[in-house]
Structure 1
Amino acid sequence: MVTDFVTYLSFDGKCEEAFKHYEKVFRGKILMMMRHSDAPKDSGVPQNPETANRIMHARLEAGGRLLMGSDAPNRGSSKPQGFCVSVGVDKPAEAERIFKELSEGGTVMMPIAETFWAQRFGMVTDRFGTPWMVNCEKQSA
C-alpha cells in the first residue's frame, strides 16, 4: 500500500544552495543534508575530491510535507522535463510571496494571477531549473 509520494529533485552541484533557498521560501527546516564525504568509506559511495562536497541526500520539511533532493552522481544531472512541483497554500498573499521568491533569477511561465479555479495561480522555473506551480485554490461554496 502506498503511504506517500515525495518529490525528489536532482541538481548538478547546486543542491545545497537550492535547499537553503527553499528553506527560506517555504519557511521550512532542513532536516538532513549529507555530503558524499559523510558516507562511510566502505559504503560504495565514491570518495574523491571531485564529489566530496556534493550532496548525497537532503531532506526539507515545510508545513508537514517533505521535499528531498541530491546532486546527481557523476555530474549526470539532466534538465527536468514533464513535471512541476505543485505548492498549495491557503492565502493569496502567501502564494504571491512564494511565487515572487521562486521567480528571482528564474523564468516565469505563467504570471501569478486569479483564475477560474484559484485565487492565485502561477508557474515558474526557478534559477536552479526546478519547475513550480503555486496554487491558492478558491474556497468551495
Structure 2
Amino acid sequence: MMKLNPYLNFDGTCEEAFNFYKKVFKTEFNQFGIMRFGDLPPQEGVPPCPDEIKDRVMHVGINFGDQMLMGSDIMPGFGNRPFQIGDNNYVSIHPDSREEADRIFKELSENGEVEMPMQDQFWGDYFGSLRDQFGTNWMINFNANYK
C-alpha cells in the first residue's frame, strides 16, 4: 500500500525542529540519522558545498510506526522562490486517545500559535490545529472509530 510521508523544509532550523519533534512524539531518527549538505561526496561537475551551508540538514526522518516524517533545510538559492514559513502545509496526525491528542497538542503549541483549540467537532473528531514555534502547521485528530 502507498504511504504518505510528509516532508518539511526549514531555513536553518531543521535539526532543532526534528530534535523537538523526536521528543514530543517519543521516537528516534530513522536509520539514516541526520545527513548534512557538507556530507555530500565530491561529484564531477558539482562545486564543493559552501561553508555557510555545510552544517545544514540535507535530510532527516523520524519514524511513527510504519509512517515517517522527513525534513531538510533549504539550500539558499535553490528553487524558484524564497523560503516562506508555512507555505500552506499541515501535518495531520491521528493519536490513539484523547489524552495523547491533548498531550501532543499541548507540547507542539508551546511557544507556537493555536489556530483552533482541541474540541469535539461536528464531523465527529476531537480536533485542534496550531502552528508550532518553527512555523509548521499541525492538525491533531482523534476519532475512536478511526484505526
Shift of the alpha carbon at 1:90?
1.4
**Percentage identity across aligned positions?**
41
Alignment partner, residue 61 of structure 1: 63
1: CA distance, partners of 2:135 / 2:55: 20
TM-score by length of 2: 0.86
Unpaired stretches in structure 2, ≥5 consecutive residues: none
For 2:51, what is the secondary structure of its paired residue?
coil
The answer to whether 1:36 aligns with 2:37 is yes
Distance 1:97 1:38, change over 3 A: same
Q: 1:90 aligns with which of 77, 88, 96?
A: 96
Alignment partner, residue 108 of structure 1: 114
The answer to whether 1:81 aligns with 2:82 is no
For 1:18, what is the secondary structure of its paired residue?
helix
Shift of the alpha carbon at 1:42?
1.8
Unpaired stretches in structure 1, ≥5 consecutive residues: none
Answer yes or no: is the 8 Å Cα contact 2:97–2:144 preserved in 1: no
* 1:56-101: CA deviation from partner (whole Å, max 9, x where unpaired): 0011102321000100111642222333110101100000000001
Instruction: Give the total of aligned pairs.
Output: 138
Shift of the alpha carbon at 1:26?
1.1
Structure with the larger strand share: 1
Moved over 4 A (4+): none
